[in-house]
Amino acid sequence: MRKRLYRVLVALIGALMVLLVGSPGAAQATETPPPDATAIQVTLQDEANKDAEGNPKPIPGVTLEVSKDGEKAGEGVTDDKGVAIIVVDELGKYTVTLDEKTLPEGTVLDENTKGEATVQVRFQGPNNRAIFPIGVTAGEESNFGKDLAQNLRAGIVFSLVLCLAALGFSLIFGTTGLSNFAHGEMLTFGALMAWTFDQVFKTGALASVSVLLAGIIAVLLGGLGGFAQEKILWGPLRRRGTGLIAMMIVSIGLAIFLRYLFQYFYGSSTRSLSQYNGQQREQHWYYLWLSLADREAIIVLISIVTITAVCLWLAKSRMGKAMRAVSDNPALAASSGLRVDGVITNAWVIGGALTALSGVLYAMQLQVNAFMGMRILLVILAAVTLGGLGTIWGALVGSLVIGLVYELGPLFGVPTSIKEIGPLLIMIVILLVRPQGILGRKERLG
Amino acid sequence: MDILDILRAALQQALGPQAIVFALAAIGLNIHFGYTGLLNFGQAGFVAVGAYGLAVSVVTFGAPFWLGITMAIVAPLVLAVILGVPTLRLRADYLAIVTIAAAEVLRFVFGSVEMKDTFGGSNGLNGYAGPFQDANPYSSGIDLGFISFGRNDLWSLTVGWVLVALCCLLVWALMRSPWGRVLRSIREDEDAVRSLGKNVFAYKMQALALGGVIGGLGGMFLALKQASVVPSDYSTLMTFYAFAALLLGGAGRVMGPVIGSVLFWFLIAGLGSFFSQSAGKGGWIPTVIMTDTQASVIRYIMLGLAIMLLMIFRPQGIIGDRREIAIDGR
Amino acid sequence: MDADMTDQTSTETNAVASKTGPAGLVGASTEPGSKKSDPIIVADKITRTFGGLTAVDVDHVEIQRGAITALIGPNGAGKTTFFNLLTGFDQPNTGSWSLEGKSLKGVAPYKVARLGMVRTFQLTKVLAKLTVIENMRLGATGQKGERFWAAPFKFLWGKQEDEVTKKADDLLARFLLDKKREDFAGSLSGGQRKLLEMARALMVDPEVVMLDEPMAGVNPALKQSLLGHVKSLRDEGRTVLFVEHDMDMVRDISDWVIVMAQGKIVAEGTADSVMADQRVIDAYLGAHHDTDLSELDEEVLEAEVEAELEGDIVQEEDSK
């Protein structure tokens, strides 16, 4: 007997809200509105809990409130078809808020959706429809243990993806001393490249391995991007003796430059890869009490293999040792005849490739847009600061802790809509108690 | 394309409220970064607590207007102490990371659904600026021929630019004093200052607090002018724009941030207007190269590029003195 | 202050015959950690480790008031670390130490300076982007204008600033830097920087002046004048403790020499007696086979230049 576990829903369409004038389908609603009234119709369906034909089950008895400009404009409760019709007085922009407390026992909002959506009531014809991403996920029962299992799984996946980016950051910081604020954009670059090449391959003969190929190309391009950055920008700056703080500000300029360049070419919409995007029916894998969707299993596998390989490489290979030597003491490394410039170039190439890989995996787990890197940059910074700025092993530990805090925080009272604050607060606290980070050495501080 | 139109849009912004907000934020940053060498990447947080200090006390807690104004000054002060205690003893990049993180935490909290009752969520707060608008002594707006400002804008601008002038005066008086000398010395070498018996930590804290409060005044002004506070105004981009303005004008100079801010908004608005006229229907740039949406983005690409180039080739900005610029851009 | 006055007379008489050292040190034992007649600094059981390496392990040491004491030893002996520990720029793992009987354990560096112990640095820390006179003014203590609330109002501190400037100008004249008064300190030569740093330290009116390698990188022409200045510090009644590699200088001006090797004090005594001491010779030979002291100087200089070139990261670290 396989234990059926809580399943996460990543579907965009959780509920359908229709603006209608006297819809016949609403006849069974408890309060039938006058047929000529302007109204907002909300349908709530449980995507995770489907009946025999595969249709999602409706969710009855949920209170919805409609407001305009902060003023309450109406309220409705979903009937046994999951439909609520809320009459509004005029056209305009309304906010529909779902009262989470009235959701049936064991049903919680899907992690990708909010309990709030904006509805533009523009037309008065009956066929105007608007679709909004209010999703609801049902669990057979919701208890702390199951929430923990689910968040733990999300946390592990996120930790590993974060770890790749943090490793990249640490390699570059360790060898150059630069806190690179454009690191988030290096991650975005990986994700966007994967999406772009996925577009190329997905219709051709290679469609079955489209994402895989696109991912490999994206990682190679990420390494190339790192190389180009070092050769065109950072190397020359270093050689003319530019201070680290000046370089940090240059990196902010670069971040803004790249971010809007991406937006210029890719717009601000959010995209998905053609495979492993969570929208197809997925195979699930069960490990002890964790269940992983196949795409998550792939992410975990690729991350662990890559992280292990990088760590072994750092520990065993000549270049890896040289890199650590430069991180520990650049002056000493230089005087012992190491080619510091060569080591730094290597760090940029590998750092760039790792970060691009992190972006590809992040794109698989969630989605792609031009601003994704900006939002995750602070979490990366929290991870490396927590572990100890510039220490390779610190990046591993820091990412693990931060990734778990990020996903587990909501179980311990961190509001879900702002779960970024968990890692950031942890980082600030750590700096208070142990400024060199978990694994950093005290001597590295000023 | 209409050159006059572009110029008008640019000038309107350069003298308008945005320039005032960023001038105040940049004056604060100038004390932090230009004079003391503190890398505050969370100036948006100080601006935000200034604005929310006013709005929350009046709207949420029903405090009188004058108390709200007091809170707009006290709140950044408190934030400076909270951030300064753990980080001012550490290396410069730690302060940068903690301040940027704190600013984001604040923005998330201000905008969160869960704390909507206090901070108004993503829609923010309004309905506190009445006394400010009532105090407007002007009976009509002003038309300078080329550009014009309405009655309310004129009142805001008067208050704003007076505020900027007062802050500049204060910075000038402080920086010529021995106190300013200690700050400039800390910027260069903390240990040297320590070895001469100065409490470096206390000076850094004073600098952080003063710069934060001036940033908070920027937030207060924005809140009064807009008559509403919205969390999305206070993203990290605000900090980086203020940095760009400061670098453009010249860090470590009294007038640097003001000149920088005016010029920054002149360029941003001018470029925005230029590209929106050039692209899309009737423009000379074909839509294959640039669409309307892309035209609104291109100025930010140029902004990023400008920050890089300024930092690399002219770190002292327009009026700075290269020999005593804080950061060696070389 | 009374104690200083008596000391001043005693050092003055001894300055004439400096080879024999001040009266207070005559007859002092040459064993490591020996008792002095009038110690101003006393340190006990000080250890400092970096990772597995013990950089400083000093059991007991006393520094005589009003004398010039040199701290020498081979490269990596822990001299600068010991300096940093005494002045509060680094914290030891164990131990206690005091200035004039007042414990300095856990006291912040700026407070140590205010108590009268002022140091200079191995790599000079003049403020290159301030003018020479501003560097000097910074050194003055108790300035009203350095307080935040008084700073904006010039009438509160203007008069004091004039007095500070007068004092600074006098010192600049004494150190032959008055012609450079309005120049940025960054434009000075290495030797001039050492002079400026020493002059600036005097603005604090210190009891004890701690000089970390005052001769490193100074050209021979300036060396004599620097030596004169160090001696004049003693003649004013101040205590001088300095780290130095230049043995000529050590022999020339020091009343007492303390030798460190591998973090420990291995010998003490007058310059001549120490240099004949077998333990000292062993210590140097143990550290560097077949190198005499002058070659060692060069090595140290090289290391310094290298460190300087490496820039920020190392600067963050060299406070250890």
Count of CB pairs separated by less than 8 Å, A with C = 30
Residue A1 domain flag = no
Helix (H, G, I), strand (E, B) or coil at A107: strand
Residue B139 lies in a domain: no
Whether B178 sits inside 8 A of C141 (CB atoms) is no
CA angle A156, A158, A159 (to 5 degrees): 65
pLDDT at residue A277 in the model = 58
- pLDDT, mean of each 10-residue run, chain C (320 residues): 43 39 65 82 88 83 91 84 89 90 90 92 87 94 91 92 94 90 88 90 92 83 84 90 85 88 87 81 62 48 46 34
**Residue in chain C nearest A174 by alpha carbon:** C313
Beta bridge partners, A93, equal A120
The DSSP result for A265-285, as a single string, is HH-S--B--SSSSS-S---EE
Q: For residue B328, give the chain C residue with the closest CA.
A: C129
Higher-confidence position of A146 and B306? B306
Q: How many domains does chain B have?
A: 1
C299 touches chain A (CB under 8 A): no
C314 → closest Cβ in A243, A331, A441:
A331
**Record: contact B112-A415, CB cut-off 8 A:** yes
* A6: in domain: no
Q: How far apart are the first and last CA of chain C?
A: 34
- Among all residues of chain A, which has the CA nearest to that of B100? A378
A362 and A298 in one domain?
yes
Q: Determine whether the interchain pair C316/A445 forms a contact, defined as Cβ–Cβ distance below 8 Å.
A: yes
Domain contains B329 = no
Asked whether residue A117 falls in the same domain as residue A217, the answer is no
Q: Min CA distance, C318 vs chain B (Å)?
A: 11
Mutate one of A173, A176, A245, A332 to test the C interface: name it (highest C CB count within 10 A).
A332
Domain boundary among A87, A103, A138: A138
Structural domain of residue A68, as residue ranges?
Answer: 15-138
Q: Do A181 and A297 reside in the same domain of the chain?
A: yes
C145/B178 Cβ within 8 A: yes
Q: Per the structure block, which two tokens stand in for B156?
A: 């805001």
Q: Which two tokens stand for residue B194?
A: 């320590």
User: What CATH number has the domain bearing residue A127?
Assistant: 2.60.40.10
Length of chain B: 330
What pLDDT score does C309 carry?
A: 42
- Output the pLDDT for position C307: 47
How distant is the Cα of A236 from the closest Cα of chain C, in angstroms? 16
Nearest to A115 by CA among A422, A415, A411, A421: A415
**CB of A263 within 8 Å of any CB in chain B?**
yes
Task: Using an 8 Å CB-CB cutoff, list chain C residues near B188.
Answer: 127-130
Contact list in B for residue A427 (CB cut-off 8 A) is 97-98, 101
Helical H segments across C175-311, by residue range = 190-202, 220-235, 247-253, 271-275, 278-287, 293-310
Nearest-Cα residue of chain A relative to residue B299: A260
C146 contacts chain A (CB < 8 A): no
Tell me the shortest Cα–Cα distance from B283 to chain A, in angstroms: 18
CATH, domain range C2-126+207-291:
3.40.50.300
Residues A185 and A130 in one domain: no
Chain A residue whose CA is closest to B314: A246
- Kindly list the distances between the CA atom of residue B240 and the CA atoms of A19, A102, B22, B218, B243, in Å, as whole numbers in the listed order: 42, 43, 10, 15, 5
Structural domain including B127 reads: 3-133+146-324
Q: Are residues A133 and A155 in the same domain?
A: no
A345-360 in b/e form (b: 16+ CB < 10 A) is: bbbbbbbbbbbbbbbb
Ordered mean pLDDT values, 10 residues apiece, chain A (446 residues)? 30 28 35 55 65 64 76 75 71 73 65 62 46 46 65 86 92 88 94 90 79 91 95 90 85 93 87 66 56 78 91 85 76 68 90 94 85 87 81 84 85 75 83 69 42
Question: C203 CB near a chain B CB, below 8 Å?
Answer: yes
User: What is the SS3 assignment for A413?
Assistant: coil
- Is B97 within a domain? yes
Count H helices and E strands in chain C, helices first: 12, 10
Write the pLDDT tens digit of every residue in B202-242.
Answer: 999 999 999 999 999 999 999 999 999 999 899 988 999 99
A23 and A109 both lie in a single domain: yes
Sequence spans of domains, chain C: 2-126+207-291, 128-187
Shared domain for A244 and A390, answered yes or no, is yes
> The domain spanning residue B64 has which CATH number?
1.10.3470
| Same structural domain, A121 and A149 | no
Chain B positions in Cβ-Cβ contact with residue C141 (cut-off 8 Å):
196-197
Nearest chain C alpha carbon to A329: C314
Nearest CA in chain A to C89: A446
In a domain, B106, yes or no: yes
C106 touches chain A (CB under 8 A): no
**A381: nearest CB among B97, B294, B304:** B97
Count Cβ atoms below 10 Å from residue A300 Cβ, excluding itself. Answer: 21
B140 within some domain:
no
User: Is B117 a member of any domain?
Assistant: yes
Closest residue to C129, CB basis, from B173, B178, B324: B324
Does some domain include residue A354?
yes
Q: Which residues of C touch B179 (CB under 8 A)?
A: 145-148, 150-151
Domain of A391, CATH number, reads 1.10.3470
Say if residue B330's pLDDT is above 70.
no
The closest CB to that of B191, out of C125, C130, C138, belongs to: C125
Residues 6+ apart with CB under 8 A from A159: A399, A400, A402, A403, A404
Inter-chain residue contact A445 with B86, CB threshold 8 Å? no
Find chains touching chain B: ≥3 CB pairs under 8 Å.
Answer: A, C
Which of A122-126, B170-174, B188-192, B319-323 ranks highest by mean pLDDT?
Answer: B170-174
Interface mutation target, options A65, A178, A249, A427, chain B, most CBs of B under 10 Å: A249
Chains touching A by CB (3 or more pairs below 8 Å): B, C
User: Per the structure block, which two tokens stand in for C274?
Assistant: 């120490």
Q: Is the Cβ pair B108, A418 closer than 8 Å?
A: yes
| CA distance linking residue A124 with residue B227, whole number of Å | 34
Q: Which of C34, C45, C95 is nearest to C69 (CA)?
A: C34
B240's enclosing H/E stretch is: helix B236-249
Say what the pLDDT of residue A175 is: 86
Task: Determine, yes or no, domain membership for A150.
Answer: yes
In one-letter notation, the amino acid at residue B32 is: H
Residue C118 near chain B (CB below 8 Å): yes
Q: Cβ separation of A378 and B94 shorter than 8 Å? A: no
Choose the mutation target among C125, C136, C163 for the interface with B, i.e. most B CBs under 10 Å: C125
The residue of chain A with its CA nearest to that of C314 is A331
Predicted local distance difference test score (pLDDT) of residue C15: 38
Same domain, A28 and A124: yes
Task: Find the CB nearest A443 among C303, C307, C320.
Answer: C320
User: Residue A281 CA to chain centroid, in angstroms?
Assistant: 21
How many domains does chain A divide into? Answer: 2
Cβ neighbours around A2 below 10 Å, total: 7
